Amino acid sequence: MFDVIVRGGLVVDGSGQPGFQGDVAVKDGRIAAVGRVEGEARQVVDAAGRVVAPGFIDPHTHFDVQLLWDGAARPALEHGVTCVVPGNCSLSLAPLKAADRPRVVGMFQQIEEMPPEAFTTAFDWTWEDFAGYRAAIEKALSINVAPLVGHSVIRLWVMGPAAQERAATPDEIAAMQDLLRQCLDAGAVGLSTSFVDIDENGRPVPSRFAQFEELDALAAVLGEYGRMLQCVPEFYATDITIARIDQFAELSLKHNIPTTFSPLFDTSAVPDNAPRAIARVEEQFARGARVWPQMQTRPIDISFSLLRPSLFFARLPRWVRVLRLPLEARLAALRDPDTVAKLVADTGPDGGEAMMGRLILRGGDAAPAELAGKTLSEIAKARGQVPAQALIDLSLEHGLDVAFLSASQGHQSTDRIGPMLAHPLVHIGASDGGAHIASFSTYGDTGYLFSEFVRKGRHLSLEQAVAKITGETADIWGLKDRGRLQPGLAADIVVFDAETIDREAELPTFDMPGDGMRYVRAARGIDTVLVNGEVAYANGAYTEARAGVVCV
């Protein structure tokens, strides 16, 4: 007697090989048989007309905090994602001394745009070390988690405030090595670092103060375990990205470790950016190095209102400072003529026409319905104002609850991106799941892969696309127990309709702690998701199953 049999589907097993009609049987959380399965099961999932695939793996997320109150990392799981990798970009929630929590929370808020309530109202800080954090999230996981440990927090633990001031001493580097070993022993699947991020005060994050020798020493520890080194490079500058590829290639070769960098964007502003980076990756792989570029599937769209800080204003520090003020102080600042004059001036001599004119007013908020879909330039002209002034005044007239969409910021050419996603050395990832929650939805990239690049663009076959986000991802990360439908492996399974799988429209929702807002996309075409053999999502609803684990 099996626990579950998924019957009669097109089995696409994550290897990239052609799919075949068959069944998948599950026993004790593991795949027991694949093919024509005889026998009975306590539960049968009818997969007729559907694809049966391994659960999808999302290798670049920031679900570190959300997992403490939401063990499904919603809505990631309903999109078929059964394993997420948090702890990217040098930031994790462990190891972290109690005294350093405010500092790291500030970094999460600045870099990942997470609301302060997420760190203050939804859970108790019960840990300092990595094992303690693991125990805290493992209490109620319904999705699997393969966590990275952040270089910045390791540095902070060992060096205290000096982590953001200077190079480490040999003794401090040795202490970091020991601490990294503890984290890897406790379930971390690798180390993340950052070369670009700043904290809420504009100060570079601790990892950026590290000499190359420090990173080399930490990579040596990763080599003892064969674990991953991840970084966010200076993705906006091709020459620097290539320099990082070269640095990581040397570490990969020297310590025999996989490395990955994310994101790699395509942009019409610098059309040779991604092709040059990929060409360098090809050269480094030819030498035997493993440097996997992560590329996201979705175009870059940013939504925002003046209710909260947004990535949209990243290059306008005065705007960021004002939007970080408490609501009453923010309203006062936006009503102050001198402050507004400076804000408008910051957007350029054209009053923001070039920077903001193409913004589209979103519907569904407090703004007048008749303005929905109009550009800020159109709205500003009708008001006799420049765009930046119109944005501020219109927002003030409606309690700041006026949302704008900055569409097509880059990475939007399906014809250019499709072949790159299909490239054998390009790792599909970089979703940023759980981060930038008030700027865009980081959920649904897998559905978009199938709708845009399999069905519409035909850049990847169904089997290739599945392999990219399952078997190949598991191989890259050394997740030996995941990513394929093979007897003996963990039974992470997704049943979906190949003709309809997609992401739904991006909508604001208010399900964050403290009624905080985030943008989400629901899934389309996902029937059933099993995690470690238990049905975690079916028929449009989450179940009570809590079979997720920290997987290594």
Partner 1 sequence: MSLPGGETISASPALSRQRRFVTPGPDETVEALALRALPGQPVEAAVDAIRSWNLHIFAMRKPAGLLLGSDVVFVEPPLG
Cβ 335 to partner 1, closest distance in Å? 28
* Beta-carbon count within 10 A of 215 CB: 20
| Contacts to partner 1 from residues 301-360, by CB under 8 A | 317
- Choose one: 212-220, 319-327, 424-432, 519-527; the region binding partner 1 (CB under 8 A): 212-220
Cβ 264 to partner 1, closest distance in Å? 16
- The residue whose two tokens read 């948090």 is 86
Cβ 91 to partner 1, closest distance in Å? 15
- Choose one: 200-208, 295-303, 335-343, 460-468; the region binding partner 1 (CB under 8 A): 200-208
Cβ 284 to partner 1, closest distance in Å? 8
| Contacts to partner 1 from residues 232-271, by CB under 8 A | 234, 237, 239-240, 242-244, 246-247, 249-250
For 127-187, the DSSP string reads: -SSHHHHHHHHHTT-SSEE---EEHHHHHHHHHGGGGGTSPPPHHHHHHHHHHHHHHHHTT
- Choose one: 61-69, 75-83, 210-218, 450-458; the region binding partner 1 (CB under 8 A): 210-218
Cβ 510 to partner 1, closest distance in Å? 35
Binding of residue 287 to partner 1 (CB under 8 A):
yes
Cβ 6 to partner 1, closest distance in Å? 47
Residue placing its CB nearer to partner 1 in the complex, 238 or 413: 238
Give me the torsion for CA of 36, 41, 43, 44, rounded to 10°. Answer: 20
Binding of residue 278 to partner 1 (CB under 8 A):
no
Residue placing its CB nearer to partner 1 in the complex, 170 or 514: 170
Residue placing its CB nearer to partner 1 in the complex, 283 or 504: 283
- What's the rounded Cα separation, in Å, for the pair 266 and 272? 8
Binding of residue 210 to partner 1 (CB under 8 A):
yes
Cβ 381 to partner 1, closest distance in Å? 33
* Beta-carbon count within 10 A of 369 CB: 9
AA letter at 390: A
DSSP tally for the chain: helices H, then strands E: 18, 23
Residue placing its CB nearer to partner 1 in the complex, 181 or 203: 203
Q: Which of 66, 109, 152, 207 binds partner 1 (CB under 8 A)?
A: 207
Contact (Cβ atoms closer than 8 angstroms) between residue 351 and residue 343: no
What letter would DSSP give residue 451?
I
Cβ 528 to partner 1, closest distance in Å? 45
How many residues make contact with partner 1 (CB under 8 A)? 32
Binding of residue 111 to partner 1 (CB under 8 A):
no
| Contacts to partner 1 from residues 128-167, by CB under 8 A | 166-167
Q: Which of 214, 353, 445, 527 binds partner 1 (CB under 8 A)?
A: 214
Return the SS3 of 531. Answer: strand
Binding of residue 204 to partner 1 (CB under 8 A):
yes
Cβ 188 to partner 1, closest distance in Å? 21
Structure tokens, 411 = 């990475």
Q: Contacts by 533-539 with C-beta closer than 8 Å and gap 24+?
A: 533/3, 533/4, 533/26, 533/27, 533/28, 533/29, 533/30, 533/490, 533/491, 534/29, 535/4, 535/43, 535/45, 536/72, 536/77, 536/82, 536/142, 536/143, 537/72, 537/77, 537/78, 538/45
- What's the rounded Cα separation, in Å, for the pair 532 and 384? 60
Cβ 286 to partner 1, closest distance in Å? 8
Residues 6+ apart with CB under 8 A from 94: 127, 128, 129, 130, 132, 133, 134, 149, 153, 183
The residues that touch partner 1, with contacts defined as CB under 8 A, are 166-167, 195, 202, 204, 207-215, 234, 237, 239-240, 242-244, 246-247, 249-250, 279-280, 283-284, 286-287, 317
